[in-house]
Structure 1
Amino acid sequence: MKKPFLLAALLGLLLSWPVAAQTRRTVFGWQIWPEAQAEVALPTGNDYFLVALRGQSLTDNNGYNDPNRVLGFDERRLTVGYEHFWNEHWSIGATAAYISAYNTYVLLPEVLLRHRSSVGPLTFGQRLSLERVIPGANGATARTNARLRLDLEKIVPLGSLSIRPRLSYEAATHVRLLRSNTDADERTIDFTSLRGEVGVRLSPLLDVTPWVAYQTQYSFGLARYDVNGSVIEPAGRANAVSPVVGLEVRFTFLNGQDAATRQQLPTQH
């Protein structure tokens, strides 16, 4: 089961690699993503219930003043999730997110399959998921996305605490069974994210994880014209790059579980 995951990831990397001569690349300012999480251990095995609240701020929103901004955030996300562990390597779960921004909202249900195993001194993780974008009245177009994430991490004990350096790569693609001639052209891979982090487990009940990421949206850009109607930039591939810095704070409620023997939830759910 691991081999199909890896082949899909390698294919995504090759298809999403930009070709300098054919690709229009735009780099935006930093985004800031603070997030508070609560992980509730359930009585059976390593199963858990998760609640997460995230705010997202854009540092270059061109002075746009959204009257619905809350605590200075351009976007707000509330996520709930559940995950069931079959054994120490395999788990299955589901999440549901409510995302609000700029007078609209999106619902985002997702089902996921996760595999974790040891590679020498490291833990190698694979996460495959399918999500459905359900927009509000003024939201985006409804669509289904498939996501694949690969990550490597290591837990390093340091006295009474431990740190968790981790590197992950994620790719997403639009999934549709039927396509008409009137549909807009799309890239094979729509989105990628390369993320690095160093989580700190301050106690069995509290984790703090600062992280940075390099995210890219892949699309086909329209042609650009000057005032005389002459083409100054032809239509073609367009990559929109956004660097992100984030901080996750997770509170764990063990409910009688033994923190020493319980398999801990990955830092990036």
Structure 2
Amino acid sequence: MRPANFWPELQVEYVLKNTSFFYFRNHYRFNFDDANNYLGEKGLTESLERVQVRAGYEQVFNNQWSLGIAESYAKEQTRGIFFNEVYARHISTFGKIRFAQRASFEHILRWPTNNNGRIRFRADLEQNINVGKRLIRPRLSYDLFYNISYQNPKGPNIAQRLVDRTRLRLEVLYNFNERFSATPYFTEQVDFTGKAPEYSAAGEIIKPASKQNAHTPIVGLDLRYVLFHGGEPFPRTLPSHSSK
């Protein structure tokens, strides 16, 4: 188990009358593993692993379907990463419980090294609960990540994995008002990797290829501010969701 990470996030949205919306997002990753590379050496940056900005637009067609596009840039100590993403979202309801599904494809450019693709599937279960005059929304979500290599596939001696990463996330949204909300969350991220076999000097296998699972706990806080076309808030069937 790796040390817990802290991921604070801030998103500003502009919602059109048809509830489609533009959004801009700042995302920060603090990693408290001493073996990691950080953006700075002192102060707030001594544990800062990544700074990421994201801008996107989501077209809402009806109460169930929407389609979005987003561009992101992340800065780490040794590289910059560009993400080009298209995604589709569907929402259905079972009584008071909402079930959301999201599928996306990303083209990822890790400059100056390489690029690859990634397919991501996510499922959410959530329910709105009124506490006095305030709304809270517990949500449980699960992500599956599949990496697509454009160059050489994984070596034949590497233990193959069907899924490259998963994230199980529990969050609780709290609405301060119709424009501002805060969502603390906890995520268990698991990276599934394959390890090459180890050989002796004579070329004999000492340890065969094996599978490895790296667990990373993540604590985060998602802050959102919403601007509405015309100035006055109005109902939204498809509110946005974190999409790191």
Q: TM-score range by the shorter chain?
A: 0.7 to 0.9
In the other structure, the counterpart of 1:155 is 128
> For residues 183 and 98 of structure 1, what CA distance do their matches in structure 2 show?
32
Identity within the alignment, %: 27
Report matched runs for 1:15-26 at 5 Å.
none
**SS of the counterpart of 1:39?**
strand
Contact 2:2/2:217 (8 A) holds in 1:
yes
Q: Pick closer, same or farther for the CA change 1:225–1:152 going to 2, 3 Å.
A: same
In the other structure, the counterpart of 1:51 is 24
Report matched runs for 1:136-215 at 5 Å.
136-137=111-112, 139=113, 141-175=114-148, 185=158, 186-215=160-189
TM-score w.r.t. structure 2 length?
0.87
Report matched runs for 1:71-110 at 5 Å.
71-72=44-45, 73-110=48-85
**SS of the counterpart of 1:74?**
strand
Q: Does structure 1 residue 240 correspond to structure 2 residue 214? A: yes
Query: How much has 1:191 moved relative to structure 2?
Result: 0.7
Query: How much has 1:103 moved relative to structure 2?
Result: 2.7
Aligned residue type for 2:107: R
Q: Pick closer, same or farther for the CA change 1:184–1:108 going to 2, 3 Å.
A: farther
Tell me the matched-pair count. Answer: 240
Query: How much has 1:233 moved relative to structure 2?
Result: 4.9
Structure number having the greater strand percentage: 2
In the other structure, the counterpart of 1:20 is none
TM-score w.r.t. structure 1 length?
0.80
> For residues 80 and 156 of structure 1, what CA distance do their matches in structure 2 show?
30
**Over the residues paired in the alignment, what is the CA RMSD in angstroms?**
2.9
Q: 1:91-140 CA deviation, whole Å, 9 max, x = no partner?
A: 00011110111131000010000001101210100000000111111x4x
Query: How much has 1:66 moved relative to structure 2?
Result: 4.2
Structure 2, unaligned runs of 5 or more:
none
Query: How much has 1:177 moved relative to structure 2?
Result: 8.1
Query: How much has 1:184 moved relative to structure 2?
Result: 7.5
Query: How much has 1:225 moved relative to structure 2?
Result: 7.7
Query: How much has 1:248 moved relative to structure 2?
Result: 0.5
In the other structure, the counterpart of 1:127 is 102
Query: How much has 1:68 moved relative to structure 2?
Result: 7.9
> For residues 147 and 176 of structure 2, what CA distance do their matches in structure 1 show?
39
